[in-house]
Structure 1
Amino acid sequence: MSESDGSAETSNAMVDRVPGGRPVLWFLVEGNRVLVAGAMLAVSYVILVALGEFGPGSISKLFDPAPISAVFTPTIIGIIMGVTLVLTFNQFVLAEELGPVDEQRERMAGALEFRRDAEDAVDRTTSPPEPSAFLRGLVEATGDRADELLAALESSPDLDESVREDVREYAEGIAVDADRVADSLEGKEFGRFEVVKAALEYNYSWKIYTGNRVRNRHEGALPDAVDDELEELLEVLGFFGPAREHFKTLYFRWEIITLSRALAYLALPALAVSAYMILVFEVGDVTGTTAGFDHGLLIIGLCFAVGVTPFAIFLSYILRIVTVAKWTLAIGPFILRETDRGSDVGWK
């Protein structure tokens, strides 16, 4: 069975592994977080206005200041508490960057050691400092190893045809997918989701498992040259996981800091609008209708959407962070999502 066969959860393309396809993927992780928050606010606004106009109850309640105060007073409290909570959480993120010099030296030594090991694995003397270029180099190295594995197959004329076909399907699948992901990583700037997205596209866990399965299935039948090339391919794949997890962690910190800045910018305008609705706004001063909708209801719904904008921004960022965290809980050849491979994924 080739690597690309089977369930959507083990597909190479990330969009094929997400139930709901492209729209759900855009909402969860791909879309600009401001646009996602705007979409959530627009839906909330439409629901509020529609229920206010057509739902059970009386719109005359709008002329009583008590309901308005009851809505916007908790909004102010929620804004203050939410922003304080996020900024406090941001301090824990920043605390990871603080520490005595010996801890910083250990972090530096660990990073340098990993880079040296990765350079040795891909036969390079110097690895690039940019995350996208580093990951692209590892992906390209897996493609190169796959090509060398195919060349070793061609140099083994006595190999059984069924074994040859099994190894060829595995190597060709990796070579094609490596080219696709390497192109998507080219020129990407860290801090934007495109780097993490491209890294998520490379389904390295399934590639490691499939490679081990192919190797163990034909143990003793593979020539030394083919076995050695397969071993080197699996070694390079093993470096991609820790590299992706490291850059994913850095991206999470980046996102949390960006979220904190966004909330700091939005908190005061949202508080000002909410305070205006409590202290100044009078529904009786707003008369008339538009397309059958009372102007007072439209304005209150709009101000409510503005008041909860910090919450919507918070939700949009956290939605992406927790989604990516869920997709990458396991490192290495472990796949947490359900597959339809049946007994083929059992112990061998």
Structure 2
Amino acid sequence: MSETTGAESTAAGDGDTTDGSATTADTMRARAGENRVKLWLLLRANRLLVAGVLTLVVFVAFLAVAAAFSPALAEKVGSSDPIETLFASMITAIVTGATLVVTIGQLVLTQENGPLGDQQERMDDTLAVRDSVADLTGSPAPTDPDAFLEAILQAASDRALDLREAVHDSGDSDDGPDRAALEADIDELVAGVVENADGVRGQLDGAEFGSFDVVFAALDFNYGRKIGRSERVVDNHGDTLTDEERDLIGELKESLSLFGPAREHVKTLYFQWALIDLSRLILYAAVPALVVAGAMLAVVDGGTFPGRTLGVDHLSLVVGGAFAVTLLPFSLFISYVLRVLTLAKRTLAIGPLVLRD
């Protein structure tokens, strides 16, 4: 998987070539360069569905191996006791895994605990950011995560349009090629901001926090690339820009830079939400997994399920199904951790930096 960043942009200019033309796509899917199915499996797919598919794959693989290697499982049980060995080990693994999950849950909760002074500092920092967003948008900052991000995107889009209008209004046909080049670069910058912001706002509309939709939509706004382009415009056209235009570019950059920490905050909250859900689901799955493993130890032997179906021993079917069920807590762990790690890898850095080829 290619390395990516929170901004998905190059350090020199957020994915732009040296002449200023954009080469990096705005959406995360286009920037990733990954197979669409692989990306869907890692991020978009329902985690319970992924866990279910992994469990089914384990079951099928167990049957395939059991059928491929002779003698049959029933014959092996007659000479030794692989069932007892297998499920005794699974009971130990389940208990150990459940204990580990409780530890993970405690680590998440410790971030929410602390003395009164620390809690007051957290509140002050949160309110300070909300005040900055309120100043940016001209209205109180929304409380819903999706609306909060939408408000910043709308402000960035509005400021981009104001910048384009000011540049064209102050320009003149006799100003020469430098002014024309400035207007072309501003048009490209503004078009990228407005189109990208409108697309992400459409994805955020109606998205519910906790379902990953909010975080996934936020990944599609390539704010770092746009910060880099705004800096390049000032560097390339410093002598042509008026003071008003410089101020408007600065205001646009301010709105873009606010999206970065806002998205990181929402992402952090999602991480905590997902880890709590994961801990709860694993504990739920651990109980039936222990029951199945205990039942296999207590009542199943070589003569419990005689006969064959389609050339497969009934005992192999039962043992394979029970083995897959006892692995369900681990399948849940894999499905959630895959998403969390993929998301963390794609947002390692904040700002216009890149960690990929």
TM-score (normalizing by structure 2) = 0.88
Q: Distance in 1 between matches of 2:33 and 2:315?
A: 40
Displacement, 1:32?
0.7
User: How many Å separate the matches in 1 of 2:225 and 2:78?
Assistant: 61
What's 2:145 paired with? 131
User: Which residue matches 1:318?
Assistant: 337
Shift of 1:293: 2.1
Q: What's 2:6 paired with?
A: none
Q: Assess if the C-alpha contact under 8 Å between 1:62 and 1:297 holds in 2.
A: no
Aligned equivalents of 1:58, 1:287: Cα separation in 2: 12
2:264 corresponds to which residue? Answer: 245
Counterpart residue type for residue 69 of structure 1: E
One-letter amino acid matched to 2:103 = T
Deviation of residue 227 (structure 1)? 2.3
1:180 is displaced (CA, Å) by 0.3
Moved more, 188-197 or 15-24: 15-24
Query: Does structure 1 residue 291 correspond to structure 2 residue 306?
Result: no
Give, in whole Å, the separation in 1 of the partners of 2:277 and 2:97: 15
Bigger drift between 171-180 and 89-98 goes to: 89-98
> Could you tell me which amino acid in structure 1 is paired with residue 331 of structure 2?
A
* Larger mean Cα displacement after TM superposition, 288-297 or 320-329: 288-297
Pair 181,28 (structure 1): closer, same or farther in 2 beyond 3 Å: same
Query: Residue 110 of structure 1: which of 98, 122, 125 is its match?
Result: 125
Q: Could you tell me how far 1:302 is from its partner in structure 2?
A: 0.8
CA contact (8 A) 1:4 1:12 kept: no
Alignment partner of 2:50 out of 36, 41, 50? 36
Query: Is the 8 Å Cα contact of residues 205 and 335 (structure 1) preserved in structure 2?
Result: no
- Counterpart of 2:180 in structure 1 is 161
Counterpart residue number, 1:193: 212
Q: Structure 1: where are the runs of 5+ without partners? A: 339-348
Distance 2:229 2:71 in 1: 61
After TM superposition, the structure 1 = structure 2 runs for residues 294-305 of structure 1, keeping only pairs within 5 Å, are: 294-305=313-324
Give the fraction of aligned pairs with identical amino acids, expressed as a percent.
41
The two structures, once aligned, show a CA RMSD in angstroms of 1.9
Residue in 2 aligned with 1:141?
A: 155
Q: CA deviation at 1:270?
A: 0.2
Structure 2 distance, partners of 1:52, 1:19, is 38
What count of residue pairs does the alignment treat as equivalent? Answer: 334
**Aligned counterpart, 1:341:** none
Distance 2:302 2:291 in 1: 18
Q: 1:283 aligns to what SS in structure 2?
A: coil
Alignment of 1:46-85 (within 5 A): 46-55=60-69, 59=73, 60-64=75-79, 66-85=81-100
Shift >3 Å, 4+ stretches = 1-5, 55-59, 62-65
Segments of structure 2 that go 5 or more residues without pairing to the other structure are 1-15
Aligned counterpart, 1:86: 101
